[in-house]
Structure 1
Amino acid sequence: MVQLTMIARTSDGLPLTASLQDENLTDYQTRAKQIFRKLNHASAPKLAIEHNNMIFYYQIDKGVCYLCLCERNFSRKLAFAYLDDLQSEFYVQYGNRIDKVTRPYHFIEFDTYIQKAKKSILDTRNHSALKNVANELQDVQKIMVANLDEVLARGTSLDVIQSKSSNLMSYSQQYRDEAKQLNRKSNLIKVGGALTFILWIVWYFIL
């Protein structure tokens, strides 16, 4: 289930609102703030960050980062469906005020909606609807998974991690393309060998 939810402005990492399930998770809340401070305009729009037996999921939209903390066995699709729900409602309520506030947790009253959204995830009657939303998020399984220590490493920003991910995807695509070419060549060689054998049979027994 969702253990922690935080929403922050990406330009300066200012927390706009938060909801903490358990007071024992204050260390994770501190980690979330550190993640916010690592964000910039080139950061990955969606990311999963592993830490101990938990995973931070975040997505960025219109200069705001929506983040939640879940157990490892919690559905990634449902986590991003939950964040997508928060994103839509938060922007409707506060979209024209986000850049103007200076006080942390200025929109703390949004916790009321956060609690409602979390209950929707737990309510089995809403599971089918949530899964339909989650199924529309076609690229969720392609979202990069990073380690918190790597994310918070000195001198490492989330755009660098995104660049590494893009390079890995490029190398992976190149490998797949080369594998396909080798496979085609192998098939051509097999076909050529079979034709040669058939022609030899025809020549030997018929001609």
Structure 2
Amino acid sequence: MPLLTFVARVIDGLLLVASIDPVTESQEAADVYRSQAKQIIKQLNPRSEAKCSIVSEPMMFHYMIEQGICYLTLTDKGYPKRLAFLYLEELHEAFIEELQRDHGMDWRTQVETVSRPYGFIKFDKVIQRKRREYLDPSSRDNMARLNSDLADIHDIMKKNIQEVLNRGERLDHVSQISKDLATQAEQFKWNSKKLSLMALWQKYAPMVAILLVVLITLWYKFG
């Protein structure tokens, strides 16, 4: 059963919708999974895998990227992977349908320009309805979904949560190194300018001094 569902903008990780099942093992566990979900989304970019499953024992995250939007859900590890992605695909179709109904062909601009988190939180009603439909993987409707779905999910990337989080730490480290290098480059550029100015001063200072002496002498003599 989908326990947590996030819809986010891929380019910057801004959460558009967040829906969380209140029935969890503990508040502490719920906080951990929410934090992991946000970290996963934060690390996504337009070059990330379009579909991926990430193991976080005893649970599993599944995410799908469509049209610059990430749909992520958390399920039990034993929940059928194919059904999880069918759930995400239906969410995508429903989300785009609602955006088009509210904003017409300008829906992309609405998604790209929204600046506050949870700007489309009213879509949570649709998520809750879809989640109830997918609660029981052995239900008649879900069995029919699985039987009618012909998608091959064997090539969907599978990762471990620690691998993803460690990658995030490395990316943060690389980002910090880049910032440090940029600062050092700017400092080097300024130091180079100072050295150039000092070299010019040393080269032309004697000539300027002589010229000033000549001008002062002529001023006293003819002034």
State the TM-score, normalizing by the size of structure 2: 0.65
- Residue 156 of structure 1, CA deviation: 5.1
For residues 86-144 of structure 1, give each alpha carbon's deviation from its aligned partner in whole angstroms, at most 9, with x where no partner exists: 011111222612112111011111111011111111362422332145x2222x12212
Task: Tell which structure's C-alpha radius of gyration is larger.
Answer: 2
> Is 1:57 matched with 2:35?
no
CA contact (8 A) 2:2 2:135 kept: no
CA distance in 2, matches of 1:66, 1:12: 14
Q: Residue type matched to 1:74 in 2?
A: Y
Who is 2:118 aligned against? 105
CA contact (8 A) 2:6 2:17 kept: yes
Identity %: 37
Who is 2:88 aligned against? 83
Q: Residue type matched to 1:10 in 2?
A: V
* Structure 1 SS opposite 2:74: strand
CA contact (8 A) 2:19 2:127 kept: yes
> Is 1:142 matched with 2:161?
no
Q: How does 1:164-183 map to 2 (within 5 A)?
A: none
Who is 1:14 aligned against? 14
| RMSD (Å) for aligned C-alpha atoms | 1.7
For residues 45-90 of structure 1, give each alpha carbon's deviation from its aligned partner in whole angstroms, at most 9, with x where no partner exists: 0000011200000000000000000011000000000000001111
Q: Residue type matched to 1:86 in 2?
A: L
Who is 1:126 aligned against? 141
CA distance in 2, matches of 1:156, 1:74: 31
CA contact (8 A) 2:5 2:72 kept: yes
* Structure 2 SS opposite 1:141: coil
Provide runs of 4+ in structure 1 moved above 6 Å.
none
CA contact (8 A) 1:121 1:130 kept: no
CA contact (8 A) 1:150 1:156 kept: no
Who is 2:2 aligned against? 2
- Residue 19 of structure 1, CA deviation: 0.8
CA distance in 2, matches of 1:91, 1:98: 10
CA distance in 2, matches of 1:150, 1:93: 35
CA distance in 1, matches of 2:95, 2:114: 15
Stretches of structure 1 that go unaligned for 5 or more consecutive residues are: 158-207
For residues 152-198 of structure 1, give each alpha carbon's deviation from its aligned partner in whole angstroms, at most 9, with x where no partner exists: 112259xxxxxxxxxxxxxxxxxxxxxxxxxxxxxxxxxxxxxxxxx
State the TM-score, normalizing by the size of structure 1: 0.70
> Which 10-residue stretch deviates more, 141-150 or 80-89?
141-150
CA distance in 2, matches of 1:149, 1:5: 20
* Structure 2 SS opposite 1:136: coil
Match for 1:155 among 162, 167, 170? 170
CA contact (8 A) 2:40 2:164 kept: yes
Stretches of structure 2 that go unaligned for 5 or more consecutive residues are: 101-106, 173-223
Match for 1:31 among 24, 36, 49? 36
Who is 2:175 aligned against? none
